[in-house]
Structure 1
Amino acid sequence: MAVTTVVRVLTWNVWWQFGPQWRERQPLLLEAIRESGADIVALEESWSRAHGSQASEFAAALGFAGVFAAQSLPPLPDVPEHPEQAEVDLGLGLLSRWPITSTRVVPLPARHRPEAPVSLVAEIAHPDGPLNVIVTCLEWEPAFNDDRIAQSRLVADLATSPALDGSAPVIVLGDLNAAPDSAILRPLRDVLTDAWTAGGGDPNAVSLPSDHPQAPLEAEELIDRRIDHVLYRLGRPGQRVTVTDPALVGDPVEGLHPSDHRGVACTLAWQNRD
């Protein structure tokens, strides 16, 4: 009998230590992650300091494994907006209900940035077999479209590497800074499936809303679009993957928004032919 494996995933740009009340936002982020029921959580614009990271703190609170990788986008402020931002890294976080057995950090093409952003490639020891997850954040500047396309191509190459083939689908989680129909994502669309669409998610869903008090309204290509994504490809021929329960995460609590983005969550289930 074929075994069905079910995993709920969440990707969320958690807004580093930008904006007001960043400390007050941390418990709101953590509670929303807990309420989402996610087994695997990707954090973009996550923070890390010498004595710990957001990923490690959240992982400890949830009883999960957690890792952090720098650098990511956007660049750190040239001048800290407040004293607590000093000597704080910005990068990618990954939380997992199961052990994270290996990680590697892959720089992305960046002709226009002094430091290249990265993708985090991780193997998770799921009880039904290794699960490969890629966490990333792509360039957003329209003037840097060459980097945006090159980064999209590299993530597609990472996700389709035969080294990641196995009993589980390969999952890509990230703030891709592009709407589902953007030409920037064509390299990814060509080889991966958009889980939100596959699961019947609202085609008009928004993960970067303009009604946030600090919304980047100047980002006309991105605002009021779903720019945060869960993508996947089959781990082996004949694998059956279904997607259910797509949801946006991160409603404001008593007027305070956990982040300027909404998280994107969905449940993936798969079976392998005997």
Structure 2
Amino acid sequence: MFCLLAVLLNAFSLLPTPSAAARPHGADLRVATYNIHAGAGADGVFDLPRLTASLRKLDADIIGLQEVDVHWGDRSGWLDLAGTLGAALGMRSYAGPIYSFDPPAEGAPRREYGNAILSRYPIVSGVNHTMTRLSTQTAAPVAAPGPGLPEVVVRVHGIPVHVYSTHLDFRPDPAVRRIQVAEMLEVLAGDRGLRAVRILMGDFNAAPDAPELAPLWPVLTDAWAAAGSGPGLTYPAGSPDQRIDYITVSGRVRVDSVEVMADADASDHLPVVADLTLPRGGSHHRG
């Protein structure tokens, strides 16, 4: 088992690291967020090649994923979607399950579902933070802390970048989202070093002017507000009328461009992609 782990880690170390100079968009970092609906498209059909092609078209260095199955069940072929998609795209993967249940049979992997992060850059560290949630797996859920806010640190041209993938509560009542926003800000505050770069992406399940999201905007820049054109609608994919999927960054990151990718087949959400320029200064330099 330990030998297999060592082989896998060595394989990850051989994955290509992108070069900003070689990328067509010219920015330091291209990031994307995508609620993949467990691999089921707007037609309700699980189609892994279609989803993989959609992710590849984003041409992103880092992708925050939501609604990710990891050996969850028949609906996604019992696959580890985070690992499978990462391998197909030549990216490292880090899964942050919201739910982790015993396997259906002895010796099988655990059934997990939640969020994930894919990265072309080596992942220096990762942690799955807790956040208050109302479970979708019980008939009468009670708000309680649970996992499912993954954070990874990657080093981009010598700059440590903290990346988070989140999925806020979907219910009309904003009470739980309000708590979740406060908890996310507390997590981000713990990474507020002098030169910390933070990128929080995900499905916020609320409009930009929703009162429960207001505490985010003094701390983070909404990429769409900074560089987007038009309403930036992301849901539902076939005929979007809501902007609920976000890329947000710490203030010292410049948003060069951002767009919603018009890919209405691979999920019930549309992906958002942004080109970013990272702050220079101190020991930070292109490596």
**Is TM > 0.5 for Structure 1 vs Structure 2?**
yes
Question: Paired residue for 2:113?
Answer: 90
Question: Paired residue for 2:207?
Answer: 179
Alpha-carbon shift at residue 116 of structure 1 (Å): 3.2
* Corresponding letter in the other structure for 1:157: E
Question: Paired residue for 1:220?
Answer: none
* Corresponding letter in the other structure for 2:255: V
Question: Paired residue for 1:136?
Answer: 166
Pairing 1:16–2:45 present: no
Residue range with higher mean Cα deviation, 116-125 or 151-160: 116-125
CA contact (8 A) 1:32 1:249 kept: no
Deviations along 1:168-191, one digit per CA (max 9) or x if unpaired, are 521101101111111121121121
Pairing 1:227–2:244 present: yes
CA contact (8 A) 1:12 1:43 kept: yes
- Listed as ranges, the matches of 1:21-36 within 5 Å are 22-24=45-47, 26-36=48-58
Alpha-carbon shift at residue 273 of structure 1 (Å): 3.6
CA contact (8 A) 2:224 2:232 kept: no
Question: Paired residue for 1:106?
Answer: 129
Aligned pair in 2 of structure 1 residues 102, 224: CA closer, same or farther (>3 Å)?
Answer: same
Would you say how many aligned residue pairs link Structure 1 and Structure 2? 237
Question: Paired residue for 2:66?
Answer: 44
CA contact (8 A) 2:38 2:67 kept: yes
For 1:197 and 1:92, locate their aligned partners in 2 and report how far apart those are by CA, in whole Å: 24
Alpha-carbon shift at residue 225 of structure 1 (Å): 1.3
* Corresponding letter in the other structure for 1:228: D
Of residues 167, 176, 181 in structure 2, which corresponds to 1:152? Answer: 181
Question: Paired residue for 2:146?
Answer: 116
Pairing 1:71–2:93 present: no
Aligned pair in 2 of structure 1 residues 183, 227: CA closer, same or farther (>3 Å)?
Answer: same
For 2:183 and 2:206, locate their aligned partners in 1 and report how far apart those are by CA, in whole Å: 16
Of residues 236, 258, 267 in structure 1, which corresponds to 2:266? Answer: 258
Of residues 266, 269, 272 in structure 1, which corresponds to 2:277? Answer: 269
Aligned pair in 2 of structure 1 residues 168, 7: CA closer, same or farther (>3 Å)?
Answer: farther
Alpha-carbon shift at residue 166 of structure 1 (Å): 5.2
State the 4+ residue runs in structure 1 displaced beyond 6 angstroms.
none
For 1:192 and 1:210, locate their aligned partners in 2 and report how far apart those are by CA, in whole Å: 26
Alpha-carbon shift at residue 271 of structure 1 (Å): 3.0
CA contact (8 A) 1:12 1:261 kept: yes
Pairing 1:205–2:232 present: yes
CA contact (8 A) 2:94 2:117 kept: yes
CA contact (8 A) 2:257 2:276 kept: no
For 1:58 and 1:250, locate their aligned partners in 2 and report how far apart those are by CA, in whole Å: 20
Alpha-carbon shift at residue 167 of structure 1 (Å): 4.0
Alpha-carbon shift at residue 89 of structure 1 (Å): 2.6
In the alignment, structure 2 segments of 5+ residues that lack a partner are 1-20, 73-77, 102-109, 135-141, 283-287
Deviations along 1:173-217, one digit per CA (max 9) or x if unpaired, are 110111111112112112111011111x134121103745xxxxx
For 1:164 and 1:191, locate their aligned partners in 2 and report how far apart those are by CA, in whole Å: 10
CA contact (8 A) 1:167 1:272 kept: no
CA contact (8 A) 2:33 2:247 kept: yes
* Corresponding letter in the other structure for 1:260: D
CA contact (8 A) 1:41 1:95 kept: yes
CA-atom RMSD, angstroms? Answer: 2.8
Question: Paired residue for 1:83?
Answer: none
CA contact (8 A) 1:9 1:38 kept: yes
Q: What is the DSSP-based 3-state SS (H/G/I as helix, E as strand, rest coil) of the residue aligned with 1:16?
A: helix
Alpha-carbon shift at residue 113 of structure 1 (Å): 4.4
For 1:52 and 1:14, locate their aligned partners in 2 and report how far apart those are by CA, in whole Å: 14
Aligned pair in 2 of structure 1 residues 65, 169: CA closer, same or farther (>3 Å)?
Answer: same
